[in-house]
Each structure stands twice: as structure tokens, then as C-alpha cells.
């Protein structure tokens, strides 16, 4: 039997190609909860809005983002210590994401938008609390 030695770059490339930008599990959980709570009229991943919010009510200027704690740098000063390989790449990547998130949030708020951001672990732990925060901040969204 021949053992094939796998090329590490090929494996990493394959794994990274499977990381989704939209339609993630946390977006599905949030979308289902929003619908169940009576929220209608939102658009998902609307490209015409700064930052492409995961859920967007353009008429009401409300943007909701579902952020992965790894990719968006939750508790970054502590978590960065866990990265052991390709530190330069990952530090730059995640820190760029953090800066972009701040820039997007500031720009949307400057343009009169309400911006709500939720971490993946909050959505998974208690999505109804997240939906309640949206309802409290934007009561006009429910039908």
C-alpha cells in the first residue's frame, strides 16, 4: 500500500476555501429567530450598504452583523497568544478585520444607521436575547 504524503499547503488551502463569508451557521440561527419573532422585510448580505450587513433593513437604516469571535477578534489581546503558526499573517488579517469593523460601524452611524453587532457565542448561547436587543433598539421592524 502506498502512503501519499500530503502537501501541507494544499490541505490548508482546501480548509480555508471552505470558510464561508455568508450563509454561516450563526446567520442561519439568527435569521430563523428573527423570522420566528415576527421580523420581516430584511435583506441578507446587502451589497449596496457599507460593510454588507448580515441582516439589513435599508428603509429603516438598521444593520445587524453576526461576527465570528475568531475572524473578528473577540478578546484579541488575550486570544492572539493562542496563535502559534504564521503569526504575522494571522495578526495582520485579524487586526485588519477589527479595524474594518470599527470603520464600517462608524461610517454607518455617521450616515444615520443603527448598527447592532453580535458575537457568535452570544447567538449560539441565547439567540432570543439577541433578537430582544434588536427589538428594543428598533421596535419599528416588527410586523
Q: Can you give the residue ranges of every domain in the chain?
A: 26-141
Question: How big is the chain by its Cα radius of gyration, in Å?
Answer: 18
Position 11 pLDDT exceeds 80: no
CA distance 98 to 47: 20
Cell numbers for 102 = 470599527
pTM of the entire predicted model:
0.83
pLDDT at 84: 86
Residue 120: pLDDT above 60?
A: yes
Query: Residue 40: CA atoms inside 13 Å, Cβ hemisphere, count?
Result: 2
Q: Please write the tens of the pLDDT for every residue from 75-88.
A: 999 988 888 888 89
Q: The dihedral of CA 137, 77, 30, 100: what is its sign?
A: positive
| Mean pLDDT score, 41-68 | 95
Report the C-alpha gap between 136 and 143 in whole angstroms.
14
The predicted structure's pLDDT at residue 12: 56
**Best CA proximity match to 66, nearest among 104, 119, 115:** 119
> Which of the pair, 10 or 128, is modelled with greater confidence?
128
Check if CATH label 2.60.40.1250 holds for domain 26-141: no
- Compare 56 and 2 and report the one with higher pLDDT: 56
Amino acid at each position: 500500500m502506498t502512503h501519499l504524503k500530503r502537501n501541507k499547503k494544499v490541505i490548508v488551502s482546501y480548509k480555508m476555501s471552505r470558510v464561508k463569508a455568508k450563509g454561516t451557521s450563526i446567520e442561519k440561527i439568527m435569521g430563523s429567530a428573527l423570522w420566528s419573532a415576527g421580523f420581516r422585510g430584511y435583506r441578507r448580505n446587502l451589497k449596496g450598504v457599507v460593510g454588507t450587513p448580515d441582516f439589513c433593513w435599508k428603509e429603516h437604516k438598521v444593520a445587524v452583523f453576526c461576527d465570528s469571535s475568531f475572524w473578528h477578534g473577540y478578546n484579541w489581546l488575550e486570544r492572539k497568544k493562542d496563535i502559534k503558526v504564521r503569526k504575522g499573517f494571522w495578526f495582520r488579517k485579524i487586526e485588519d478585520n477589527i479595524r474594518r469593523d470599527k470603520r464600517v460601524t462608524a461610517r454607518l452611524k455617521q450616515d444615520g444607521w443603527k448598527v447592532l453587532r453580535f458575537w457568535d457565542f452570544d447567538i449560539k448561547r441565547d439567540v432570543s436575547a439577541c433578537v430582544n436587543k434588536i427589538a428594543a433598539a428598533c421596535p419599528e421592524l416588527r410586523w
